[in-house]
Amino acid sequence: MSLTLSEAESRRIVSSHGVVVSPFVTGRSTDEVITALADHPEVGYPVVAKLCGRAIAHKTERGLVRLQIVDEASLRSATDELLAAARPDDGDVEVLVSTMMAGNRELIVGLNDDPQFGMTIMVGVGGVLAEAIRDVSFRLVPISEADAVEMVDDLTTQSLLREFRGEPAVDRGALTDTLLALSRVATEVPGVCSADLNPLILVDGRPVAVDALLEIDGEEDSP
C-alpha cells in the first residue's frame, strides 16, 4: 500500500531537503490561517488558498483551489468556503495558503519508481501541454551534479530556458540544485515511491515549486 501525503506535508519534506517552495502557511480553521499569516510576513498577498489532506488528490477538479486572493477579507471567506467544502471521507484537512508566484514558464520535476530501473528522477517542460509535448529527461537516482546539469541540457526546448518574454534565462545552478535536492528526498526519506513538483514555476529565472505531492509506501499512520 502507498499513501499520498498532503500538499503541506509534501512541501515540508521536500523543502527540508532543499527544494525551494513558494512561501506558505497552514491552518485548520480560518482564524488559525489568519494568525499563521500574521506570523509569516514572507507569505504576502496575493495568495492562493487550497484545501488539502492526504485523501484529497485532485484539488483543482473539485474546486478546492482559490487563486488571486488579494486581502484578508477575501481570504477569510475563501477559507470558510474551502473548509465547508470538505467531505467526511476527506479525513483530516487543512487550508494551505501560499504566495501566488508570477512567471510565464512552468517545469515539472518528479520521482518515479520504475519497474525496470528502480527510482528515477525527471525534469520536463511543464504546464497544460506537458503530456502532449513530452520533453522530458530521466536519470536513475541518486544523481550527481554532472548528471543534473546534463538532464537540463538534454531538454529539447532549450529556448524556454533562455531569456524569455522579458524574463531572465533560467538559473541553471538553481535548477540543478532542485534536482539534487529531490534526488536526496528519494534516497533519504524512507519509502518514497513517487513525487511531483508540478508546476515548478520559473520566477525571475529561479525555480519555485508551487505544488508538491509525495507518495510514500506504508499505512495511514505513517510517516
Residue 176 contacts another protein per CB under 8 A: no
Interaction mask 16-55, another protein, x per CB under 8 A: ----------------------------------------
Residue 150 contacts another protein per CB under 8 A: yes
Q: Which residue has the cell 534536482?
A: 179
**Per CB under 8 A, which region of 25-33, 95-103, 146-154, 170-178 contacts another protein?**
146-154
Distance CA(124)–CA(137), nearest Å, equals 6
106-114/118-125 β-pairing:
antiparallel
Q: How far is the CB of 119 from another protein (least distance, A)?
A: 9
- Closest-CA residue to 129 (of 111, 106, 153, 109): 106
**Under 8 Å between Cβ of 177 and 140:** no
Residues 6 or more apart from 134 whose CB is under 8 A from it?
A: 124
The cell for 131 is 503530456
Q: Which of 41, 88, 115, 166 binds another protein (CB under 8 A)?
A: 115
Residues near another protein (CB under 8 A) are 4, 57, 108-112, 114-118, 120, 122, 124, 130-131, 134, 136-140, 143-144, 146-147, 149-151, 154, 194-196, 198, 213, 215
